[in-house]
Structure 1
Amino acid sequence: MYLKPDNYRQYPGLYPMTLIILSLCLAVYILHSSPVFPKGLLYYNGAGVNLYIANGEWWRLITPIFLHISFSHFLFNCLAILLFGPLLERHLGSSLFAGFFLLTGLIANIATYLFMPLSYVHVGASNSIMGLLGFYLYASIFHKQPVPKQFETTIYTLAIFAVIMSLIEPNINLIGHFTGLVAGFILAPLFQKRSQQL
Structure 2
Amino acid sequence: MFIRNETFSSFIRNYPIITTIVVIHLILFLWINATLFTNGLFPFGDKILMYGVGQTGQIEAGEYWRLVTPIFLHQGTGHVLFNSISLILFGPALERMLGKGKFLLAYVAIGTLANIATTILTGTFYTHLGASGAIFGLFGIYLYMVWKRKDLIDWASAQMITVILVLGVVMTFIRPNINIAAHIFGLLFGFLFASPLLRHARPFYAIPNDNEIRFQPNRWKRRRFFSSEKLFRWIGWVFIMLVIIGILSRLF
Please give the TM-score of this superposition, normalised by the length of structure 2. Answer: 0.74
Q: 1:147 to 1:129 in 2, by over 3 A?
A: same
Aligned residue type for 1:8: F
1:20 counterpart residue number: 20
User: Matches of residues 113-132 of structure 1 in structure 2 within 5 Å?
Assistant: 113-132=119-138
Cα shift readout 1:70-126 (whole Å, capped 9, x = no counterpart) = 011101000110111111101101111101110110110000001110110000000
How far has the Cα of 1:39 moved from its partner?
Answer: 4.9
Q: 2: distance between equivalents of 1:81 and 1:146?
A: 19
Q: Which residue of 2 aligns with 1:31?
A: 31
Q: Name 1:183's counterpart in structure 2.
A: 189
Compute the displacement of 1:42 (Å): 1.2
Computing the radius of gyration from Cα coordinates, the structure with the larger value is: 2
SS in 2 for 1:40: helix
1:91 aligns with 2:105: no
Q: What is the RMSD computed on CA atoms of the aligned residues? A: 1.5
Paired-residue identity, %: 34
Letter in 2 for 1:19: T
Output the CA distance in 2 between the equivalents of 1:150 and 1:127: 25
Q: Which runs of 5+ in 2 are unaligned?
A: 203-252
Bigger drift between 179-188 and 134-143 goes to 134-143
Counterpart contact for 2:33–2:75, Cα < 8 Å? no
Distance 1:171 1:131 in 2: 20
Is the 1:131–1:182 Cα contact (8 Å) retained in structure 2?
yes
Note the C-alpha offset of 1:142: 1.7
Q: Is the 8 A contact 1:88 1:146 kept in 2?
A: no
* Structure 1 runs not aligned, ≥5 long: none
Q: Output the CA distance in 1 between the equivalents of 2:24 and 2:45.
A: 18
2:146 equivalent to 1:164:
no
Instruction: Check conservation: 1:87, 1:146, Cα contact below 8 A.
Output: no
Matches of 1:155 and 1:5, distance apart in 2: 19
Name which of 57, 62, 79 aligns with 1:56.
62
Superposed displacement of residue 7, structure 1:
2.7
Which sits farther off after the overlay, 117-126 or 150-159?
A: 150-159
Q: Find the counterpart in structure 1 of residue 82 from structure 2.
A: 76
Q: CA offsets, 1:40-91, max 9 Å, x none?
A: 2211010001111011100000000011020111010001101111111011
Asked whether the equivalents of residues 46 and 60 of structure 1 are also in contact (C-alpha less than 8 Å), the reply is yes
